[in-house]
Structure 1
Amino acid sequence: MFKSVLVANRGEIACRVFRTAKRMGIRAIAVYSEADAKALHVREADEAVLIGPAAARESYLVADKVLAAAKATGAEAIHPGYGFLSENAEFAEAVMAAGIIWIGAPPASIRAMGLKDAAKKLMVAAGVPVTPGYMGEDQNPDRLKSEADAIGYPVLIKAVAGGGGKGMRRVETSDAFLDALASCQREAASSFGDDRVLIEKYILSPRHIEVQVFGDSNGEVVHLYERDCSLQRRHQKVIEEAPAPGMDAATRAAVTDAAVKAAKAVNYVGAGTIEFIADASEGLRADRIWFMEMNTRLQVEHPVTESITGVDLVEWQFRAAAGEPVPLKQADIPMNGWAMEARLYAEDPANGFLPSIGKLEHFRLPDDIRVDTGVFQGGEVSQFYDPMIAKLIVHETSREAAAARLADACAEVEVWPVKTNAAFLVKCLEHPRFVEGDVDTGFIGAEEEALVASSLSKFGLEGAARALREHGVVADGNDHWAPWDTWNGPQGFRLNGPSESRQTIVVHGEAHSVAMTPDDYPPATYRPLTAHNGVWFEDGLAFEISAFKQMGAGGGSASDGSLRAPMPGKIVAVSAAVGDAVAKGQPIVVLEAMKMEHALVAPFDGKVSGVGAAVGDQVAADAVLAVVEAG
């Protein structure tokens, strides 16, 4: 066995590989970009080498820099992780040419499976079932359209060199084909430098089933059962599980046998995944599962396979690269219980799932399950790399128990101020369709509105009432609210009529806000919520609690519904837009002045007809910040 390994990658996969290396007494070597100088994988390595600027194309994707780092540190082996150079045959050849052990698929296998059309032809020859479609050399648009017409719509146009959901278009009708083809080809050329495509029959109730395979240099290939990766958003996996729900013994035997045949057809060595598409309209059936592609590397979702088999796939990779045989015979590989993995992304579901970057001022993940992560509290989520910040993995005796435990784990996630998809994951895992196993690759698209809906209304009542007490507004023994001393004394501003000051809490969460006063919710015992510097966490969501003085019924409002600044200050929140229906007392604008926040709220039920300020604006006293019309 080699004594040192360099991981040509970053983040959670680098940390994952280091964990096994250290357990086996192998020296762990990291490479890093300037943006990753303080990253977790650098901290956990025994040695680390800077290889370039933040952009991956100038660091992690530069083979010569990675090789130079390996030579400089005396690394005996290189593990590519996934992504970056992991499926680059030329890099694999360069590693081996330099006398360094390559912990990955043979270059010939990478090439054989790298182009989807060639891979499918190879699979047909090996007796592996493939999806009906066209994989010909003739790329004339008219020929491609005629083939699509013959297959029957809907069809899927896929880039031959594609991956990650890029260069892929679903086409519903013959009339729409040529425009979709042109768009697909442009994206393929831009992403992969190759605009060739293939055409496949689009499966209306598709399930994404994949089989983990493993081969050694003696020609032995085994499988480690299947995973279901059907819960996807825009072709990106969100939640994975093993085994696949609804998979009977006969269907499992058929799909795993096909996977082993596929791996043997390319003389595969190491860890790889054979991906299948299943027509689940009538449940999983052996005659309705077809080869889609092969990933010639370790997969992001490999932990669920490790959980049900008890196998460390990275250790197996090390041993195969060192020339050792597959550690277990097929009959000796167990399948126990049920495992699920959720991908925690730094993204904002309420804002179109846009990535969220910045410093992780507060970062806490569950400590009673397996967590694979590459970040830490105080670290940064960079704009330069994939926004996945952790994988949460559970293993239970049943699918129901696994789903419930993973939902609880996602609900415990606390991240601030970077936004995450934790609450979205909770809703996916608790959705009745998911719980029943009624999922396909279109599940999230069909249910997305409900899955991203804010939970603020639920939290707002309980959390704001608790927040009132946390901020000093408490109930006495007679169930009367005792005022917060800060607000005692002279009453507030008078603007176009008398006003009365009230203490108010606003709970800001996702795209909405809820305002609470002592009168709005009676004192009671509420379940405790975790707090961090004025931020409350519940069910995977983060809520910022703001205490401020509310100016009368309208918060600085005139009788005509105009909300005016009671004093010069800075706008720190605008929670409504023109056309929004608002309720009396609902916060519209929050002004910061004299180190205090002042909410301007709707004076009556109505509709916002004007907004004259934006977050960050400095405004003068009496400036009209918004207007509400009654109705």
Structure 2
Amino acid sequence: MFQRILIANRGEIACRVIDTARRLGVETVAVYSDADAEARHVAMADRAVRIGPPPAAESYLNGAAIIEAARATGAQAIHPGYGFLSENPDFAEAVAAAGLVFVGPSAKAIRAMGLKDAAKALMERAGVPVVPGYHGEDQSPERLSREARRIGYPILIKAVAGGGGKGMRRVDDPSRFAEALEGAKREAKGAFGNDAVLIEKYVSTPRHIEVQVFGDGIHAVHLFERDCSLQRRHQKVIEEAPAPGMTPAMRTAICEAAVRAAMAVGYSGAGTVEFIADASDGLHPSRFWFMEMNTRLQVEHPVTEAVTGVDLVEWQLRVASGEPLPRRQEDLRLHCHAVEARLYAEDVPAGFLPATGRLAHLRFPGGVRVETGVREGDEITPWYDPMIAKLVALAPTRAEALVKLGRALDETRVAGCVTNLGFLSALVRHERVRAGEVDTGLIARDLDRLVPSGPPPPEAVAVAALAAAGPADGPLAGFHLWTPLSRRVDLRWKDEPQAVTLALAGPRGARITMDGRTREAARGEDGWRIGSGAAFDAVAEPTRVTVFGGREGTWVFDHSDPLDRDVDATGHDVTASPMPGLVRAVLVAAGQAVAKGDRLVVVEAMKMEHALSAPRDGRVAEVLVAEGEQVEAGAPLVRLEAEDG
């Protein structure tokens, strides 16, 4: 076993690797950018080395700096985590050339599986079923369009060097192909430095089922399957193991195919073989096809660890240090059911846009496994993925695991940035999810039901006013400093004013008047109760209050003085950036006529492109940004000429 390893990553995966290394008695070296100087993974490691400024290209993607940090600190091996350099064969080779061990597969295996077109050809030769499509070298728009027509719409355009939904477009109609191809190639170029794409048949009722494999270069085993069908914009949201509705025949077929895929490249280390299954009539051994192989540890690996009792990071370190596979296939068993939810800083109603902010309050419940790379007080920046944590519930049955996860989500507390907590809570309680009738289109079809759209209930407004009036360690403590009788609190929710009048009512109570109605509030150990309703808790910051209502939802109210607030620069005439990002494309010019819905600017955030459209018909008065410019959330991008009258 190694004595010291360097972890070429950040966030929760770096913390995850440190946990196992510490248990094995292996010292760890963290690397960090200037944006992560105070990060949790830096504090956890035995040593830490700065590798550059915040942009990933100048820090976490700087292979030379990372290798130099490993050599300078006496590390014997480099664990790449996932993302960044984890699937970069040139980096794997450079690590070996420096006399270090790359904790992962060989550069040859990474290359073989790294390009989707070549990987599918290899899988066909290995007897692994593949999706009908075009994986050729001719990348001309004419050839790609012709192949799309041959395959038959709907089709998927996918970056050959891609992953995580980047450089991917679904196209339902030939008239939309050219525009989708242009966007996919541009996004692929920006994310992977390679704009080549492939075309695949789109399966109408798809299930995303993947198999965890592990090899030592000679032998390979599978650790059963995971279902990752609950996705939004091709990004996984909830993952589980085993897959619901899985039959013994289907499991045998898909897992054996995954092992054949691993053996075809002499695989060493942890890997995931991803398949798409046609679930239009249940799962069947003849209706699944290879999509890609991820030659690294997956974000969702904890669900496999939970159901098998295997520490995959320990296996990675043991195999990389020269040991054989720790277990034979016949020794591996499924023990229970596990479900994982990814908690993100993102604005769900705005289209799952990544969000930023300082975590003013962060609390996780007991009873579930929590993987996180942040602490209370840390900042979610625009530089990296906005994941806050993964919550994993383990139970004897799937139904029990879903209930346990739903309760854990309700008890999670995050203040300081918007999150997808309410969306996740609604998703795990969706009747089709509970029934195991999942597919990759479920979220898109039922988005209106999953995304809260109505105003907050009066109870939430009341609790926000109570939190804004004074700290919770005594109802309205400090309240009497303003007036001994009552106080008016002015709130705003999405710029809608909410006026509330509060009055003391005993040592742990208050009387709330709003909209002409008075309600009684009492504070208990689980938060404020308005009348006989459910308990609501809240966290107050200097200018806003976050109210937690469990499965009812989470709401953020502004309570700063309106006279102190800067005038909003945006409006009906101005299109603003909804998040911090990089301007990838400016599609209009001053004087150009546009129609409502026309694309104006493309902004990239977290390596995903977001097209911003004209709010109305009109003429462009001014373009306020240039391609390549970094913008903040709310920055004005394009202004239209004022409407007459």
What is the match of residue 535 of structure 2? 528
Following superposition, the deviation at residue 175 of structure 1 comes to 3.5
Q: Out of 133-142 and 369-378, give the one that drifted further.
A: 133-142
Deviation readout 1:455-503 (Å, 9 max, x if unpaired): 7544x3366169559959xxxxxxxxxx9895678xxxxxxxxxxxx85
Name the CA distance, whole Å, in 2 between partners of 1:209 and 1:280: 11
C-alpha spacing 1:147/1:352, structure 2 compared with 1 (3 Å) = closer
What is the match of residue 564 of structure 2? 570
Name the CA distance, whole Å, in 2 between partners of 1:531 and 1:465: 7
The answer as to whether partners of 1:350 and 1:511 remain within 8 angstroms in 2 is no
Following superposition, the deviation at residue 386 of structure 1 comes to 0.6
SS in structure 1 at match of 2:564: strand
Deviation readout 1:551-591 (Å, 9 max, x if unpaired): xxxxxxxxxxxxxx9xxx435899xx99xxxxxxxxxxxxx
The answer as to whether partners of 1:273 and 1:296 remain within 8 angstroms in 2 is yes
Amino acid at match of 2:111: R
Following superposition, the deviation at residue 536 of structure 1 comes to 3.0
Q: Out of 513-522 and 298-307, give the one that drifted further.
A: 513-522
Name the CA distance, whole Å, in 2 between partners of 1:345 and 1:298: 20
SS in structure 2 at match of 1:267: coil
1:125 matched to 2:125: yes
Larger radius of gyration: 1
1:413 matched to 2:407: no
The answer as to whether partners of 1:275 and 1:294 remain within 8 angstroms in 2 is yes
TM superposition score normalised by structure 1: 0.80
Amino acid at match of 2:149: D
Name the CA distance, whole Å, in 2 between partners of 1:115 and 1:398: 38
5 Å-filtered alignment, 1:174-185, equals: 174-185=174-185
The answer as to whether partners of 1:11 and 1:374 remain within 8 angstroms in 2 is yes
Name the CA distance, whole Å, in 2 between partners of 1:469 and 1:420: 20
C-alpha spacing 1:261/1:12, structure 2 compared with 1 (3 Å) = same
Amino acid at match of 1:322: S
SS in structure 2 at match of 1:229: strand
C-alpha spacing 1:506/1:230, structure 2 compared with 1 (3 Å) = farther
What is the match of residue 227 of structure 1? 226
What is the match of residue 344 of structure 1? 343
Name the CA distance, whole Å, in 1 between partners of 2:407 and 2:494: 20
The answer as to whether partners of 1:55 and 1:384 remain within 8 angstroms in 2 is yes
Amino acid at match of 1:520: R
Name the CA distance, whole Å, in 1 between partners of 2:81 and 2:92: 13
1:44 matched to 2:55: no
SS in structure 2 at match of 1:287: coil
1:79 matched to 2:92: no
SS in structure 1 at match of 2:162: strand
What is the match of residue 549 of structure 2? 538
- What is the aligned counterpart of 1:464 among 462, 468, 474? 462
Following superposition, the deviation at residue 144 of structure 1 comes to 2.5
Amino acid at match of 1:538: G
The answer as to whether partners of 1:537 and 1:543 remain within 8 angstroms in 2 is no
Name the CA distance, whole Å, in 2 between partners of 1:187 and 1:469: 44
Following superposition, the deviation at residue 522 of structure 1 comes to 3.9
1:364 matched to 2:357: no
Name the CA distance, whole Å, in 2 between partners of 1:130 and 1:308: 28
The answer as to whether partners of 1:416 and 1:542 remain within 8 angstroms in 2 is no
What is the match of residue 60 of structure 1? 60
What is the match of residue 187 of structure 2? 187
SS in structure 1 at match of 2:25: coil
C-alpha spacing 1:407/1:248, structure 2 compared with 1 (3 Å) = same
The answer as to whether partners of 1:213 and 1:222 remain within 8 angstroms in 2 is yes
Following superposition, the deviation at residue 191 of structure 1 comes to 3.1
C-alpha spacing 1:525/1:470, structure 2 compared with 1 (3 Å) = farther
SS in structure 1 at match of 2:157: strand
Amino acid at match of 1:207: R
Name the CA distance, whole Å, in 2 between partners of 1:466 and 1:225: 47
Deviation readout 1:116-171 (Å, 9 max, x if unpaired): 01000000000000001122233333332232222211111222222221222222
5 Å-filtered alignment, 1:613-628, equals: none
Amino acid at match of 1:461: E
Name the CA distance, whole Å, in 2 between partners of 1:340 and 1:308: 10
1:108 matched to 2:108: yes
What is the match of residue 243 of structure 1? 242
Following superposition, the deviation at residue 82 of structure 1 comes to 0.3
C-alpha spacing 1:511/1:133, structure 2 compared with 1 (3 Å) = farther
Name the CA distance, whole Å, in 2 between partners of 1:467 and 1:80: 47
The answer as to whether partners of 2:467 and 2:539 remain within 8 angstroms in 1 is no
The answer as to whether partners of 1:40 and 1:376 remain within 8 angstroms in 2 is yes
SS in structure 2 at match of 1:122: helix
Name the CA distance, whole Å, in 2 between partners of 1:571 and 1:425: 33
In structure 2, list runs of 5 or more residues that go unmatched.
471-478, 501-511, 521-530, 573-633, 635-645
Name the CA distance, whole Å, in 2 between partners of 1:189 and 1:446: 30
SS in structure 1 at match of 2:108: helix
What is the match of residue 582 of structure 2? none
Deviation readout 1:55-78 (Å, 9 max, x if unpaired): 111111011100110011000111
The answer as to whether partners of 1:347 and 1:353 remain within 8 angstroms in 2 is yes
The answer as to whether partners of 2:546 and 2:554 remain within 8 angstroms in 1 is no
The answer as to whether partners of 1:350 and 1:510 remain within 8 angstroms in 2 is no
Following superposition, the deviation at residue 395 of structure 1 comes to 0.5
SS in structure 1 at match of 2:402: helix
Identity of aligned residues (%): 54
Following superposition, the deviation at residue 444 of structure 1 comes to 1.4
TM superposition score normalised by structure 2: 0.78
Amino acid at match of 1:66: I
Amino acid at match of 1:301: E
What is the count of residue pairs matched by the alignment? 535
What is the match of residue 620 of structure 1? none
Amino acid at match of 2:537: T
What is the match of residue 204 of structure 1? 204
Following superposition, the deviation at residue 424 of structure 1 comes to 1.2
What is the match of residue 17 of structure 2? 17
Name the CA distance, whole Å, in 1 between partners of 2:549 and 2:406: 12
1:300 matched to 2:313: no
What is the match of residue 374 of structure 1? 373
The answer as to whether partners of 1:467 and 1:545 remain within 8 angstroms in 2 is no
5 Å-filtered alignment, 1:144-543, equals: 144-217=144-217, 219-454=218-453, 456-458=455-457, 460-461=458-459, 464=462, 504=488, 515-516=499-500, 517-518=512-513, 519-523=516-520, 524-533=531-540, 535-539=546-550, 541-543=554-556
Amino acid at match of 2:344: Y
The answer as to whether partners of 1:505 and 1:547 remain within 8 angstroms in 2 is no
C-alpha spacing 1:445/1:573, structure 2 compared with 1 (3 Å) = farther
Name the CA distance, whole Å, in 2 between partners of 1:50 and 1:173: 49
The answer as to whether partners of 1:505 and 1:545 remain within 8 angstroms in 2 is no
SS in structure 2 at match of 1:351: coil
Amino acid at match of 1:358: G
Following superposition, the deviation at residue 508 of structure 1 comes to 5.0
In structure 1, list runs of 5 or more residues that go unmatched.
473-482, 490-501, 549-564, 579-615, 617-631
Q: Out of 90-99 and 448-457, give the one that drifted further.
A: 448-457
Q: Out of 201-210 and 357-366, give the one that drifted further.
A: 357-366
Q: Out of 132-141 and 272-281, give the one that drifted further.
A: 132-141
C-alpha spacing 1:522/1:24, structure 2 compared with 1 (3 Å) = same
Following superposition, the deviation at residue 115 of structure 1 comes to 0.5
C-alpha spacing 1:144/1:570, structure 2 compared with 1 (3 Å) = closer
Name the CA distance, whole Å, in 2 between partners of 1:544 and 1:171: 39
